[in-house]
Structure 1
């Protein structure tokens, strides 16, 4: 964005004083999930630092991983989900973070400081966290929405109106749970059942898309697998929409931001990670994307409607069905990929 010389000088002084990190020049290229980065947050960051930011979208963890592995991408920051972070780290794709260079790491809430997928937070910082469930237009269907049958055995009212977010691991794990297995199973019989169920169900789907808020609001889609924050954004514009927590099991996840090993703007990337760990800035991301974040002190800046929203606050009766996504072993990942490839044919 363009700013005056006076504003740039003021931003430079403010950034160097408050963070002690910013280059206050150059650019930053962020590779993130689509419709997930607050424009107001980016504008504020650019004004305070003088760094020009470009955000490029992706639609799934596998899309992001494949593109970065191919090289020549030009990105500095990526935001993988927790069950993919170990894959990025083991492949040497993420830099190790130095807390001395990103002092706001101290603002990470205790629950998220030492996590299984990134012990000690050596490579990533929290972005947003939430659940993967189902969304239903209740003006068309009045039955139980807390079940994966919504997309795997859809009722007649919803057939041909179902959308699936194209996130392989979540979709297969939800299906495995539906047929009686557990996430990351290597039981070939269970996986065959899951594959067959997905292939059978596909005939009743209208799309496999991730950017669907507007389509649900307009009634172009009426049910499907969806993330809780996106579901809240849709429901705020169409109160016939409701979010369900499948009783067979639903994933709980956290997306975290890391700096790519081959980043061309590493110092600017560190400045940005430090910036988003400020409680007020973390709340800006939540207000836009409508997910919880992992930053201590951000609650006081959060929108009031998120504190009681049924998509954000899991009802007590549905808590037990949630399971935190984990990284599946390589042999299981290969089996999942085979199923997914067959589904996409």
Structure 2
């Protein structure tokens, strides 16, 4: 999740989306793919990768469903992996072509969204919480009250990322509900709370890494890796884990049913499961990954970073989002639509 919008192509001189031997079309979150990883992949395999960015799971899903996209791989979040699979937009992986599949860490192999990892390969995982400039606000940052009941010091200085599932889920936790709630009483509190809080926000936008770094924003609902990158540029930035509940997520690569460069896609999937290569992905975006042995290659500053290593006292408050029911998504969409007005 996790993610800032950037230019579409991170590496290549290829044009168009037509099928061609020795190329790969990757559809991924913005500012989330290591250029160094791509350069290494091309050097070792001769396969050129074009990366096209998206800004949300729903954007990616709509684009793939529309067809004619030309992409080979997509990287949805855990709760969207079953949706892509059930809609027939992706295919079950041929594990005989993925000898490095055994490198997937056991805890990320047996997951409710893809049992046995037959449909997806781990990319990165992390959390959605609150990043705060502690030179501006010295109060408790481990609460969603920071952005739902905005303290005076942060009024007009706090951003909320425009990610419906993350934002509505955080608010639902804050008001005593559970992920994918269909409880109308709770959802009314969520809607009212969000609408009441919005006038105290400066924006609903991406770009938190840069804007927290240069003090354009004093706080933001944000992802942990982005928050770490901001802290490295601005030591006053700290990441909070809302004690009422915060979102955990894992993004995973999936092979699209209408992929035109299938063998190249398998080569890439196998490549990113090499521990050293998985660590390159993490070193760029600053999120953990799901590959055993990658820790040995991780930057030292990630091994103890509070944004990456969840403090023990906040572990129980983290929740992976399930795949929500259609009714739940309708309720969330209605709240989100009203919030955008």
Aligned length: 326
CA contact (8 A) 2:25 2:70 kept: yes
Identify which range, 151-160 or 136-145, moves more after superposition. Answer: 151-160
Contact 1:123/1:258, CA 8 A, preserved across alignment: yes
C-alpha distance in structure 2 between counterparts of 1:321 and 1:63, whole Å: 28
Tell me the secondary structure at the aligned position of residue 95 of structure 2: coil
Separation of aligned partners in 1, 2:240 and 2:100 = 35
Contact residue 38 and residue 289 of structure 1 kept, 8 A:
yes
Q: Secondary structure at the match of 2:233?
A: coil
1:254 positional shift: 0.6
Q: For structure 1, which runs of at least 5 residues remain unmatched after alignment?
A: 4-23
Counterpart for residue 258 of structure 1: 254
Q: How does 1:1-345 map to 2 (within 5 A)?
A: 25-345=21-341
Q: Secondary structure of 2:319's partner?
A: strand
Q: Aligned partners of 1:106 and 1:99: how far apart in 2?
A: 10
- String of CA shifts for 1:294-325, please: whole Å, max 9, x gaps: 00111110111111101011111111211122
Q: TM-score, normalised by structure 1?
A: 0.92
- CA distance in 2 between counterparts of 1:126 and 1:209 reads 27
SS at match of 1:84: helix
Question: Would you identify which runs of 4 or more consecutive aligned residues in structure 1 move more than 6 Å?
Answer: none
Aligned-pair CA distance for 1:25:
4.0
If the length of structure 2 is used for normalisation, what is the TM-score?
0.93
Distance 2:167 2:83 in 1: 19
CA displacement at 1:2 relative to structure 2:
8.5
- Whether the aligned pair in 1 keeps the contact of 2:208 and 2:220 (CA below 8 Å) is no
> SS of the residue aligned with 1:313?
coil
CA offsets per residue over residues 57-115 of structure 1, 9 Å max, x none? 11111111111111121111111000111111111111110110111111100001121
Deviations 1:128-184 (A, max 9, x none): 011111000011000000000111111111111111122211111110111111111
Q: Secondary structure at the match of 2:78?
A: coil
Whether the 8 Å contact between 2:12 and 2:50 is mirrored in structure 1 is: no
Aligned partners of 1:125, 1:215: CA distance in 2, in Å?
32
Partners of 2:204 and 2:262 lie apart in 1 by 35
1:25–1:50 CA contact under 8 A, matched in 2: no
Return 138-147 or 154-163, whichever deviates more.
154-163
Inter-partner Cα distance in structure 1 for 2:219 and 2:207: 14
User: Conserved in 1, the CA contact under 8 Å of 2:147 and 2:221?
Assistant: yes
